[in-house]
Every structure is written in structure tokens, then in C-alpha cells.
């Protein structure tokens, strides 16, 4: 929902919003991050995208830029982009042509110049321990959300949740050496003055050395009032010992994501978490003095029924009861549970990329159903996301290049800062789609055929489409796939495609 803000920033900077309208005297516009794995709705506005990790490729791009300006006199944008497109991980949408079938599905995407790769593979940092890491960061004068030292303990996740795009595009798993992390902490605490160290990753408790690392950090900085937080925790990887350690200096909030209310549905999405895991984890937290826990769920997941929704309510009730039983006698605060339920948004490069989002009215009815159920429970708060926002997120997450004109029209109509509910203008978005005879449901709600050419098929995370299709079939069967770090290789393809040595748990 930030796409129109990108267009707005270009315009406010006096830069033509369309890439083809920008001549040599204008800046090159580059983009990256998770959304670059389906950048097609932004293809009209961005000169080039970088897929994957940027520590190494950014130096190659800057080196090419330096050479291009030094060796040819006047800078030639088209020549630079042609050479950049040959750098692994760089995607220049202007050098690819998209053709369509009469029904609006994609016929093919192919390069229009010789030497341009038909498939762009993401970049991955192979030597994660020695990758560049900033240790003298800018410290703002005002309070910000991430007012803390950030230590990236590991990158990637091999758990294989079938809805999760990050778990695919950040593969393979690589852990950073604990001594390297301690050295980075020393520099960052000294240069920033922050009073909290966050151990970041997709699943920090999966870091092999997490408990000894926390102990060393607290031994070194605890007396100085510097605490440690774990912002990303799995329900099945949290322990009493971890709970005890992270609250030694200050108690931060705890958030867990069961994602689904029943074991059947958790198996469908390959969450790999049991109800017993959830009970044990929450008991451990409450027994150490926590009184409030946030739980994240999704509604509208493939194969979901109202029994699965009842499971969300039932699980919240059980956790509330566990909290009251486990709470130490000296803790007087009441136990509180916050349940957040977002609508499932299918994402590119996941096993659920073929699955259409559930219809809006059906999702609204499920929200009403849960709201009524939770209204009867004391000390349980229920939050949910606007269905219309999730609907547009799905349309652009699965959209093709034709949505570029919709984005520009929506921006011209006044759609900006749409991630903020007070600025969200749903009717103007529908007007923008209608202006070009496009139906957002075609992108958001339609199930794609597994043999269909997808808008992002020419962009690769290293994980094969065949493996994703296999996981999609297993989801329909309700079959769980184990974490490949502690089980045999399942052949997703990322290690062989990207020439990376797989890393088991240390």
C-alpha cells in the first residue's frame, strides 16, 4: 500500500514518474526488498530492481556507475542499464516484453535484447559472517519505532510455512558467529547509547547459540541498564530459560504467531506447531511474570472452516486460563490476551501463490463472527485488518505490469498514504481500476493454474516452481514437511541454484 507514495516521492522531487520519460540528467531509480520479487506493478516507474541481498551487489552497481561515467564522457543511461542487467540479481523491466492471452493471463515474458538473461536470479551473501554490517548508525533526535541496537543473528528460515514469502526469498539459512555478534554489539552500544539490544532474524529462537549469546550480552551490559529483546519468536522455540534471561534488565512484550486455531489447519499451512507447544510456551512466559501476550492469526487461509475460527477462540480461552494458573502469587496485574487476525494475502514465490484470496464478504462475515465470540470474553482484545486493504494488497501482490497505469491513476485521484486507515480511499482505487477496464478480483481472488505463466516467473528466488507446486499439493493433503535443517534435503533447489552450501544447526 506504499506504491503510490513511491510515485508521489518522485513527483515531489521534480522527477518524471515514468522511467521512459527520465533522460540522462535525472537520477537512476533503483528498488529492492521483498516486493521486488513481483515488481511488475511498479515496472513503469523504476529503472531497475535488485533481487535478494544487497551487501555485495550494491558495490558492483556503484562500480559500474563509476566506470560508466568515467569511461564514456557523457553518461548514457541506456548503455548503463544494459550492462547492469548482466549483473546477477539486477532486473531491468524495460528490457523485457510481456505478451498476454485474450483472457488477460500472461502468455510469456521474454527479454528484447541479446545477452539479457531470460530468468533473473536473486543475490545471496555466501559468507554471512564477514558481510558488511553498519556499526556507526545514525541516531535520530526524536523517538522512533526501532530505538535500539539491531543485531542480525541469522538470515533465512527453513521452517517452510506455506504462506510465508520471507521464508522462501531469504533462503538459505546462515548463522552469524557469536563472537562476531558480541564485537558488533560492543561497537553499536558505544556509538549509539541505546538501552536495548534486539536480536533480529525471521526466527531468533532458532539461532543455535541464542541462550549463551544472551547470557554474555547481559553479563556485559546488564549493569549498564542495557536489556536484550527477541522480537521474533516461534511458539515451539521458546523456553523458561529464555523467558528468564530476556527479562533480567527489563520485560519487553511477547508476541507469538500460531497463525491458525486448529492443528488440521496448522498442518495445511505447515506451521509445525502443536497446541501442546503453545500451551507450554505460554505457561513458561506467564510463570516468569508476563501478564500480557499477543497472538497473531490469519483468517481466510486455504481450506479454512468455521471450526478453525472456533479454534482461535478456544485457544485464546485456554491461554487465558493457563495464564491465571501460572501467574506467580506476587504478580497482581490481571492476565490479558490480545488476538490479532489478519486476512490471508497470497504472495509470489510461495506454495500458496496459486491460491486466490477469499471473497471480501466472506472475510467480513468471519470477522463479524470472531468479533461476536470475543465480545463475550473478558480480558481478551480482538483486532483485525480492513478487508478492503487486504484485498488491494492481494491484487498488487499477484498483479502484472498492467497495474502500473492503475497505480498512476489512483495517485492522480489522491490515493496516498493508504497504509494509514484515515487516508485509505477505497472507492478511488476501484475507480482507478475501472478506468482501464481492469477488475481487481481477477488478480486478488482468482486461483491461478499451476501451469499458468505467472507475472514473476522470470524472476527466481532460487526455489524451484516445481517444489512450490509440490508443497501446494501437500497442503491440500494436510501433510507436514519437516524443517530441512534437521531433516533430509527436500530438493527446493535454492542451495544448488545459488551455489550455496546448506547449513545445518550448529
Q: Is the pTM of this model over 0.95?
A: no
Q: 10 Å Cβ neighbour count for 76?
A: 13
Q: Which residues contact 313 (CB under 8 A, 6 or more apart)?
A: 261, 370, 373, 374, 377
Interatomic CA distance for residues 11 and 363, integer angstroms: 36
Beta bridge partners of 18: none
Interatomic CA distance for residues 198 and 137, integer angstroms: 15
The dihedral over CA atoms of 49, 52, 58, 59, expressed in degrees to the nearest 10, equals -140
DSSP for 331-352, please give it. --SPPEEEEEEEEP---TTSTT
Sign of the Cα pseudo-torsion (257, 259, 261, 263, in order): negative
* Exposure on the CB side of residue 126, measured as CA atoms within 13 A: 9
Longest dimension (CA), the chain: 77
Element of type H or E holding 367: helix 360-375
Helix (H, G, I), strand (E, B) or coil at 411: helix
456 torsion bin: left (phi>0), alpha (psi -120 to 50), beta (else): alpha
Sign of the Cα pseudo-torsion (89, 93, 94, 99, in order): positive
Q: Which residues contact 315 (CB under 8 A, 6 or more apart)?
A: 258, 261, 275, 278, 295
Q: Over its length of 506 residues, how does the chain's per-residue pLDDT go in tens digits?
A: 999 999 999 999 999 999 999 998 899 999 999 999 999 999 999 999 999 999 999 999 999 999 988 865 678 999 999 999 999 999 999 999 999 999 999 999 999 999 999 999 999 999 999 898 888 888 988 888 778 999 999 999 989 999 999 999 999 999 999 999 999 999 999 999 999 999 999 988 889 999 899 999 999 998 899 988 887 667 776 666 776 777 666 666 688 899 999 999 999 999 989 999 999 989 988 998 889 999 999 999 999 999 999 999 999 999 999 999 999 999 999 999 999 999 999 999 999 999 999 999 999 999 999 999 999 999 999 999 999 999 999 999 999 999 999 999 999 999 999 988 999 999 999 999 999 999 999 999 999 999 999 999 999 999 999 999 999 999 999 999 998 888 888 889 998 888 887 666 55
Helix (H, G, I), strand (E, B) or coil at 427: helix
Could you identify the residue written with the cell 535443517?
Answer: 485
Element of type H or E holding 30: strand 30-31
CA 11 from centre of chain: 28
Interatomic CA distance for residues 277 and 239, integer angstroms: 10
User: What is the domain partition of the chain in residue ranges?
Assistant: 3-121, 253-345+356-392
- Which grid coordinates belong to 27? 537520477
Residues 236/274, Cβ–Cβ less than 8 Å: yes
Residues 89/58, Cβ–Cβ less than 8 Å: no
- Which grid coordinates belong to 203? 526466527
The dihedral over CA atoms of 450, 455, 458, 460, expressed in degrees to the nearest 10, equals -70
What is the model's pLDDT at position 237? 66
Helix (H, G, I), strand (E, B) or coil at 2: coil
Residues 189-195: contacts with CB within 8 Å, 24+ apart?
189/149, 189/221, 189/224, 189/226, 191/135, 191/136, 191/137, 192/137, 192/139, 192/149, 193/139, 194/139, 194/147, 194/148, 194/149, 194/226, 195/148, 195/225, 195/226, 195/227
Task: Print the SS3 string covering 91-107.
Answer: ECHHHEEEEECCCCCEE
Interatomic CA distance for residues 417 and 421, integer angstroms: 9
What is the model's pLDDT at position 168? 96
Phi/psi at 258 (5° precision): -65, -25
Burial 87-121 (b: 16+ CB within 10 A, else e): bbbbbbbbbbebeeeeeebbeebebeeeebbeebb
Residues in the chain: 506
Helix (H, G, I), strand (E, B) or coil at 249: coil
Element of type H or E holding 57: helix 54-71
What is the model's pLDDT at position 485? 85
Element of type H or E holding 311: helix 306-326
CATH 3.30.750.200 assigned to 253-345+356-392: yes
What is the model's pLDDT at position 502? 66
- Which grid coordinates belong to 109? 515474458
Element of type H or E holding 297: strand 292-299
Interatomic CA distance for residues 368 and 365, integer angstroms: 5
- Residue among 30, 24, 39 nearest 10 (CA): 30
Amino acid at each position: 500500500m506504499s506504491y503510490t507514495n513511491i510515485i508521489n516521492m518522485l513527483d515531489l522531487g521534480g522527477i518524471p514518474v515514468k522511467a521512459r520519460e527520465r533522460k540522462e540528467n535525472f537520477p537512476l531509480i533503483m528498488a529492492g526488498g521483498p516486493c521486488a520479487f513481483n515488481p511488475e506493478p511498479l515496472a513503469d516507474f523504476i529503472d531497475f530492481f535488485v533481487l535478494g541481498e544487497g551487501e555485495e551487489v550494491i558495490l558492483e552497481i556503484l562500480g559500474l556507475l563509476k566506470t560508466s561515467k568515467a569511461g564514456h564522457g557523457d553518461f548514457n543511461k541506456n548503455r548503463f542499464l544494459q550492462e547492469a542487467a548482466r549483473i546477477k540479481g539486477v532486473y531491468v523491466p524495460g528490457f523485457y516484453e510481456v505478451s498476454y492471452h485474450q483472457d488477460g493471463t500472461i502468455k510469456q515474458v521474454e527479454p528484447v535484447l541479446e545477452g539479457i538473461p531470460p530468468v533473473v536470479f536473486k543475490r545471496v551473501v555466501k559468507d554471512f559472517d564477514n558481510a558488511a554490517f553498519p556499526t556507526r548508525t545514525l541516531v535520530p533526535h526524536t523517538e522512533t519505532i526501532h530505538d535500539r541496537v539491531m543485531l542480525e543473528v541469522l538470515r533465512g528460515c527453513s521452517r517452510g510455512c506455506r504462506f510465508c514469502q520471507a521464508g522462501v526469498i531469504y533462503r538459505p539459512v546462515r548463522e552469524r558467529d557469536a563472537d562476531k555478534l558480541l564485537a558488533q554489539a560492543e561497537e553499536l552500544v558505544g556509538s549509539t547509547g541505546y538501552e536495548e539490544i534486539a536480536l533480529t532474524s525471521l526466527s531468533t529462537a532458532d539461532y543455535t547459540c541464542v541462550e549463551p549469546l544472551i547470557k554474555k550480552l547481559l553479563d556485559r551490559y546488564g549493569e549498564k541498564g542495557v536489556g536484550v529483546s527477541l522480537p521474533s519468536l516461534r511458539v515451539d522455540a521458546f523456553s523458561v530459560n529464555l523467558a528468564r534471561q530476556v527479562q533480567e534488565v527489563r520485560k519487553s512484550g511477547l508476541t507469538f504467531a500460531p497463525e491458525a486455531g486448529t492443528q488440521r489447519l496448522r498442518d495445511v499451512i505447515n506451521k509445525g506447531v502443536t497446541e501442546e507447544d503453545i500451551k507450554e510456551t505460554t505457561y513458561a512466559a506467564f510463570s516468569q511474570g508476563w501478564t500480557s501476550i499477543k497472538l497473531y492469526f490469519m483468517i481466510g487461509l486455504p481450506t479454512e472452516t468455521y471450526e478453525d475460527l472456533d479454534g482461535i477462540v478456544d485457544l485464546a480461552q485456554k491461554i487465558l486460563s493457563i495464564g491465571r494458573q501460572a501467574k506467580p502469587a506476587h504478580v497482581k496485574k490481571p492476565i490479558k490476551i490480545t488476538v490479532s487476525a489478519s486476512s490471508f494475502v497470497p504472495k509470489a514465490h510461495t506454495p500458496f501463490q496459486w491460491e486466490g484470496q477469499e471473497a471480501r464478504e466472506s472475510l467480513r462475515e468471519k470477522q463479524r463472527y470472531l468479533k461476536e465470540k470475543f465480545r463475550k470474553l473478558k480480558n481478551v482484545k480482538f483486532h483485525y485488518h480492513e478487508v478492503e486493504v487486504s484485498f488491494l494488497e492481494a491484487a498488487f501482490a499477484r498483479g502484472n505490469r498492467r497495474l502500473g497505469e492503475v497505480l498512476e491513476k489512483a495517485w492522480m485521484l489522491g490515493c496516498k498514504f493508504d497504509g494509514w486507515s484515515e487516508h485509505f480511499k477505497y472507492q478511488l482505487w476501484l475507480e482507478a481500476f475501472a478506468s482501464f477496464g481492469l477488475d481487481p478480483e481477477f488478480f486478488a481472488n482468482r486461483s491461478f493454474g499451476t501451469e499458468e505463466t505467472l507475472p514473476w516467473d522470470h524472476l527466481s528466488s532460487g526455489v524451484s516452481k516445481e517444489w512450490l507446486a509440490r508443497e501446494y499439493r501437500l497442503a491440500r493433503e494436510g501433510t507436514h514437511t519437516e524443517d530441512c535443517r534437521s531433516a533430509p534435503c527436500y530438493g527446493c533447489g535454492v542451495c544448488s541454484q545459488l551455489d550455496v552450501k546448506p547449513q545445518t544447526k550448529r
